[in-house]
Amino acid sequence: MRVLILADDCNPDWPSLPVVGYKFARAIANYADVVVATQVRNKPNIERDGMGKAKVVYLDTEKIAKPIYDLAVFLRGGTTTGWTIQMAVNYPSYLAFEWAAWKHFQQELENGQFDVIHRITPMSPTLPSPLAKWSSVPFLLGPLNGNLPWPKYFTTELSREREWLSSLRNAYKFLPYYQSTYSRAAGILAAFEHTIADLPESVQSKTINFPEVGIDPELFSLPNRSKQTQMTILFVGRLVPYKLPEVVVRAFAASPILQQHKLVIVGEGPESVRLEEIIQEQNLAQCVELTGKKSQAQVGELMRQAEIFAFPSIRELGAGVVVEAMACGMACVVVDYGGPATLISDEWGVKVPLGDLDYLVQQFTQELEQLVKEPDRVERLGLAAHHHAMSNYSWDAKAKMTMEVYNWVTGSQNVKPNFVEKPITIVPDPA
């Protein structure tokens, strides 16, 4: 199986989509003959770390991409908020990338030297792929992720996120190449029901529920934990309004029980000042620590040292960090909305119903207090989370699933793969 992977965002050092694209492509290359087409901006880091068995072709469209990126940063007021603006501005930049890919690979594609074209990044369904129309090679799109409505309780956070363009999001369906992308695609990988619901009715039959999140077992693994009198509760993520890190800090402020334990918050962003103010006002310096940004390896180490992962984000499309925490055997407490709601089950975590800020603080306080009182339950949830994560979300497991999809889009397999209905691994109670 020879596969051309389109991965505009593909970088081992850049968080979120670029590192996901890098690790996904690298894992697929263990099972197929892979050529990765990516932006030249990713070359230094990929050349340093390697791409495994994949061959890499670097496409230089920086004359178009860089000024467009700079414009997006200006309109967003930085790089941490205004994601809808970024996607809208990226449209011409991404068309330029696929045009460069077409010029480079046209002869090979027309000569039948590739069995599949697979676009893995960008993951936004708002950015079409003209190569689906230009080439007759089976085209696989995704995993896509998007279309999660903003919760009605958090209009203030919507404004602080600079998401003023979100009301016009559906305009992307009128962009050139949108219709041909979906009509010509042989298959579509879409993460979670909120993304699938946004796709045209005509493509539902060729859409597969396939979360984009994955884990690297070398970085995120189960430690041999010893029970501690003082537990550590961990939050990891960009410190931006919609992730609501202040919920966990306010839970500690409201609870003498939680103050006997430790809260570690990893990340950086505009909310850090707000958090520091709460910590100072509530005299929480002895039990709450802000570490700033950490590398993936450092995050993995912190996860192995902590027992509970608290993640009150209210608009999380994918939540790869939740799967990483699961892999490290942490008991996760998340909001029952978006990606985390699907990733977490009562068998390996706790889901808090969506509500306003005060409600979430109350519920997180209650659930975290209950967990620190029940170390055996924390251990049981964490073990089940680890086994589920490793069975379904390791990059190797996802690469094997992707090979099933390749066989289906090329006609070697008649039945469309269904990964949602896979049986859950039964994990025995800890001794």
pLDDT digits (tens, 9 = 90+) for 355-386: 999 999 999 999 999 999 999 999 999 999 99
CB 324 within 8 A of CB 299: yes
- Residue 334, number of CB atoms within 10 A of its CB: 25
Q: On the CB side of 227, how many CA atoms lie within 13 Å of its CA?
A: 11
- Residue linked to tokens 């690298």: 26
Using the predicted structure, report yes or no on whether residue 424 has a pLDDT greater than 50. Answer: no
Model confidence pLDDT, tens digit, residues 42-87:
999 999 999 999 999 999 998 988 887 777 666 666 655 555 555 6
CA 317 – CA 56 distance, rounded (Å):
29
CA 362 – CA 30 distance, rounded (Å):
47
CA 100 – CA 87 distance, rounded (Å):
20
Q: Residue 349 burial by CB count (10 A; 0-12/13-18/19+): exposed, middle or buried?
A: buried
Say what the pLDDT of residue 75 is.
64
CA 252 – CA 262 distance, rounded (Å):
9
Model confidence pLDDT, tens digit, residues 1-49:
999 999 999 999 988 889 999 999 999 999 999 999 999 999 999 999 9
CATH 3.40.50.2000 intervals, the chain: 2-214+394-409, 232-390
Q: Residue 194: helix, strand or coil by DSSP? A: helix
Say what the pLDDT of residue 426 is.
40
Model confidence pLDDT, tens digit, residues 234-292:
999 999 989 999 999 999 999 999 999 999 999 999 999 999 999 999 999 999 999 99
CATH class of 232-390: alpha beta
Q: Does domain 2-214+394-409 have CATH number 3.20.20.150?
A: no
